[in-house]
Amino acid sequence: MKIIIEFLKRGIAAKLLALLFSTTGLYILLGLFVTLIIVGAVSNINNHNSNWDDSNMSPINISPEVERYRSKVEEEAFKNDIPEAVDILLAIMMQESGGRVPDVMQASESQGLPPNSITDPYLSIEIGVAYFAIGFKHAREKASKNANETALQGYNYGFGFISWSIGHEGGWTHDNAIEFARIKSNGTKRENGQWRYGDQNYVQNVMRYLVANDGSNGGGIEPLPGGHATIEKAIAEGSKYIGRSTYVFGGGRNQRDIDRGYFDCSSFIHYAFKMAGLTLGNLTSVTTDTLVKMGKKVSVSEVKRGDLVFFDTYKINGHVGIYLGNGRFLNCQSNGGVRVASMQSGYWADTFNGVIVRVTE
């Protein structure tokens, strides 16, 4: 990405020099600079009211209206000691409001208020994240299975479901979500056949936003042209672990670790592609050093969705992820486990070394 940016800078510089040597170049440049000053001033005004960055669109199925609140959700998740749940919280927001009403987390009712009483989206996020964190921590501590799902259904049904489902079956199942609704509705149904209590498919409705964006669910970006079935399957399978995984150096090399969501960066890549039907060497011995030799090297200018991108972290090619497009990649990292990250700025931009490997056409 840094190489591409440098080329762009050089191209712009060459055009400016050409303008300077033309008869009208000086006037054009003066007009350009004035325009840039005005645009910059307007941008500063807009940025004062919004933290949205058009380059930060999500490659999972999160709309721009929801993605714009990511930094606030990250802030509140950190305050409530659940930084690993950021993408889950954004998926909740997607289901609850799509970011289209002020009470983006639909948190009013958790405060005993009528729906949509909260008119400040940032207050809605503060209340909604704090509310979810209580159930999320309880489910993580007490549930013997499906802790994330248990917490999610609890956000819709209330905390009573969390304790009830853990006491009955160790945690959420779709069947006990339906049974809880039957009990709470006193056996009355809606016209669509569901029990008249909450959303019995809430977990499934939220989870659909935690898979790689294929453009079908109102997500922020479209997949790059020419997407390969193996690549899309690998990305979809890997994305299932977003918000429900833990980075463990050396982990992910046996079924027990995989079932628990324990991976390091290279075992995660191996798992995702293996689920898509492509085996990248021996699971027990896979490392970034073996993966970098698996396919063919391509240049930064040729990078495509599904390519493996490498970073110089604790060593040369010490970290690897799956490129998604628009400068974003899917990886398992020490901060938060499996997640989508940007390689356009910050740590990953600084450590990206330009090494790209294409394992399938």
Homologous superfamily (CATH) of 229-358 is endopeptidase domain like (from Nostoc punctiforme) (3.90.1720.10)
State the catalytic residue, choosing from 61, 270, 319, 332: 319
**Is 319 a known active-site residue?**
yes
Structure confidence at residue 48 as a pLDDT band (50, 70, 90): very low
Better-predicted residue by pLDDT, 49 or 276: 276
Instruction: Compute the average pLDDT of residues 279-283.
Output: 89
**Is 156 a known active-site residue?**
no
Instruction: Compute the average pLDDT of residues 275-296.
Output: 90
Domains of the chain: which residue ranges?
2-47, 60-210, 229-358
**In CATH terms, is domain 60-210 a member of 1.10.530.10?**
yes
Same fold, 60-210 and 229-358: no
Structure confidence at residue 309 as a pLDDT band (50, 70, 90): very high
**Is 51 a known active-site residue?**
no
| Of 30-44, 109-123, 230-244, the least confident | 30-44
Encode burial over 250-280: b for 16+ CB neighbours within 10 A, e otherwise. Answer: ebbbeeebbeebbbbbbbbbbbbbbebebeb
Instruction: Compute the average pLDDT of residues 206-212.
Output: 74
Instruction: Compute the average pLDDT of residues 97-123.
Output: 91
Q: What is the pLDDT of residues 131-153, one digit of tens each?
A: 999 999 999 999 999 999 999 99
Instruction: Compute the average pLDDT of residues 282-291.
Output: 92
State the catalytic residue, choosing from 265, 270, 317, 332: 265
Listed as own residue / partner, the contacts of 199-202 with beta carbons closer than 8 Å and 24 or more positions apart are 199/156, 200/174, 201/174, 202/95, 202/152, 202/153, 202/155, 202/156, 202/157, 202/177
Write down the pLDDT at residue 206: 87
Q: Evaluate if pTM is beyond 0.95.
A: no
Instruction: Compute the average pLDDT of residues 158-177.
Output: 94
State the catalytic residue, choosing from 56, 146, 148, 331: 331
